[in-house]
């Protein structure tokens, strides 16, 4: 799949909305021609604009104007059995994401068994669901959201009540040595867990999409923020809801989000799915991404569930300054960012130790 590269895509007017001329030529050639004509009329810089960007403005295109890269999955992919930490961490630093094939291959079966057991429990408690601002929750902690019309019930599972406190397999997997080696290469020797693990569960035949978004919209941090390690528990492709990422989007800083069907998300008219790189994979494959890396996933149109687990790791001196699930809550939380007590956010240390400095809060 072709995405956008600042060294190739030089038409600022086009790439702000859709991406580069190559991507447009492959996916939306009629829009490319139309928009290139609009750009020509407004600037007079394009002579032959059907599939070419004007070289006169090549030097002015930066990551801020053109955040994506011409990449294939292979360009951000490494293999757990042949992991070179320096090059892998450099890839992550450059693109804000990294695919590690086979990282949890040996643990995926046990994790899937616990996820399906948790789903069975959640469904058995369906009639006990209580409404909350984000949807509904059952006593096990599962979050439900409205279901599509094709469902037999009016609610569908979004986040399973599967956490470190409910699954030994899940908790132990957070200490995967090769994963922690990689996280240490990125963050440094001292690493803490952020939150208590998450299992996102797309039910079959239309299971919910998660709009493109940044995790920073939900939990903005004072410093770099956590690294998420998302692992497929079943073979995953475009049909059942593969993760999509926009490599390089972490360089854009915090982007304004809107309210969507699946809570905070980016405006689809500005951030269409065509701008993102889908990452198919096998059970046990892991995708690392930062809090400012744009990512999301489409519906599950297969006949089976699509569960993933997420571990999050951060430096122990970092903390959340804004936390929200919708625009109104975020607006209010931003007013109180100076009141946050970082001492109440400490997570479990998985590498190194927590260091205290005299005079520090």
pLDDT over 70 (residue 19)? no
Q: What is the pLDDT of residue 360?
A: 60
Q: What is the pLDDT of residue 47?
A: 32
Q: What is the pLDDT of residue 18?
A: 35
Average pLDDT over residues 257-276: 94
Q: What is the pLDDT of residue 361?
A: 55
Tens of pLDDT along 81-102?
Answer: 999 999 999 999 999 999 999 9
**Mean pLDDT estimate for the chain:** 84
Q: What is the pLDDT of residue 91?
A: 98
Q: By CB neighbour count within 10 A (0-12 exposed, 13-18 middle, 19+ buried), where does 79 fall?
A: middle
- The full set of domain ranges for the chain reads 12-60, 73-351
Average pLDDT over residues 187-200: 98
According to DSSP, the β-strands at 97-101 and 77-79 are parallel
pLDDT over 80 (residue 177)? yes
Question: Which one has a higher pLDDT value, 188 or 148?
Answer: 188
Confidence category of residue 70, pLDDT binned at 50, 70, 90 = low
Average pLDDT over residues 246-265: 94
pLDDT over 50 (residue 63)? no
Average pLDDT over residues 294-311: 97
Q: Which of 299, 175, 284, 279 is nearest to 231 (CA)?
A: 284
Tens of pLDDT along 28-46?
Answer: 333 333 333 333 333 333 2
pLDDT-wise least confident of 61-70, 297-306, 316-325: 61-70
CATH superfamily of 73-351: q2cbj1_9rhob like domain (2.60.120.620)
Confidence category of residue 152, pLDDT binned at 50, 70, 90 = confident
Average pLDDT over residues 112-138: 97
Q: Which two tokens stand for residue 191?
A: 């690493």
Tokens 């607006």 belong to residue: 331
Indicate whether this model's pTM tops 0.75.
yes
Contact present, 69 and 23 (Cβ < 8 Å): no
* Dist. CA 88–CA 212, nearest whole Å: 24
pLDDT over 50 (residue 143)? yes
pLDDT over 50 (residue 179)? yes
Tens of pLDDT along 203-238?
Answer: 998 888 999 999 999 999 999 999 999 999 999 999
Confidence category of residue 12, pLDDT binned at 50, 70, 90 = very low
| % of the chain exceeding 90 in pLDDT | 75
Average pLDDT over residues 258-287: 95
Q: To 10 degrees, what angle do helices 177-187 and 85-95 make? A: 60
Q: What is the pLDDT of residue 249?
A: 96
| % of the chain exceeding 70 in pLDDT | 80
For the sheet containing 210-213, what is the strand order?
A: 210-213, 295-297, 243-245, 277-279
**The 3-state secondary structure of the chain, one letter per residue:** CCCCCCCCCCCHHHHCCCCCHHHHHHHCHHHHHHHHHHHHHHHCCCCCCCCCCCHHHHHHCCCCCCCCCCCCHHHHEEEHHHCCHHHHHHHHHHHCEEEEECCCCCCHHHHHHHHHHHHHHHHHCHHHCEEECCEEECCCCCEEEECCCCCCCCEEEEECCCCCCCCHHHHHHCCCHHHHHHHHHHHCCCEEECCCCEEEEECCCCECCEEEECHHHCEEECCCCCEEEEEECCCECCCCCCEEECCCHHHHCCCCCEEECCEEECCCCCCCHHHCEEECECCCCEEEEECCCCEEECCECCCCCEEEEEEEEECCCCCEEEECCCHHHHHHHHHCHHHCCHHHHCCCEEECCCCCCCCCC
């Amino acid at each position: 799949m072709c995405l956008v590269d600042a060294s190739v895509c030089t038409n600022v007017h086009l790439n702000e909305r859709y991406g580069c001329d190559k991507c447009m030529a492959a996916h939306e050639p009629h829009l490319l021609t139309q928009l290139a004509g609009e750009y020509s009329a407004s600037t007079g810089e394009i002579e032959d604009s059907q599939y070419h960007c004007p070289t006169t403005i090549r030097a002015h295109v930066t990551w801020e104007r053109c955040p994506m890269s011409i990449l294939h999955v292979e360009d951000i992919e490494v293999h757990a059995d042949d992991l070179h930490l320096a090059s892998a961490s450099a890839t992550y630093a450059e693109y804000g994401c990294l695919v590690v094939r086979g990282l949890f291959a040996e643990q995926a079966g046990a994790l899937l068994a616990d996820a399906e057991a948790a789903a069975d429990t959640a469904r058995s408690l369906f009639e006990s669901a209580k409404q909350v601002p984000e949807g509904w929750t059952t006593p096990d902690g599962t979050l439900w959201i409205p279901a599509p019309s094709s469902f037999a019930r009016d609610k569908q599972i979004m986040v399973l009540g599967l956490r470190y406190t409910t699954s030994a397999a899940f908790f132990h997997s957070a200490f995967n040595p090769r994963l922690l080696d990689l996280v240490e290469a990125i963050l440094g020797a001292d690493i803490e867990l952020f939150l208590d693990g998450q299992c996102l569960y797309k039910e079959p035949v239309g299971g919910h999409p998660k709009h493109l978004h940044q995790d920073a919209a939900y939990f903005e941090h004072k410093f770099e923020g956590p690294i998420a390690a998302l692992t497929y528990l079943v073979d995953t492709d475009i049909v059942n809801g593969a993760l999509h990422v926009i490599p390089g989007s972490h360089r854009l800083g915090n982007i304004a989000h809107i309210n969507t069907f699946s809570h905070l998300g980016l405006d689809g008219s500005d951030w269409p799915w065509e701008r993102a790189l889908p990452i198919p994979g096998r059970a046990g494959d892991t995708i690392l991404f930062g809090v400012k890396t744009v990512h999301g996933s489409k519906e599950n149109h297969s006949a089976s569930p699509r569960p993933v687990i997420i571990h999050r790791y951060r430096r122990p001196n970092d903390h959340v300054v804004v936390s929200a699930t919708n625009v109104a809550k975020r607006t209010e939380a931003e007013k109180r960012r100076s009141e946050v007590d970082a001492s109440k956010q400490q997570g479990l240390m998985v590498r190194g130790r927590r260091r205290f400095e005299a005079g520090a809060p």
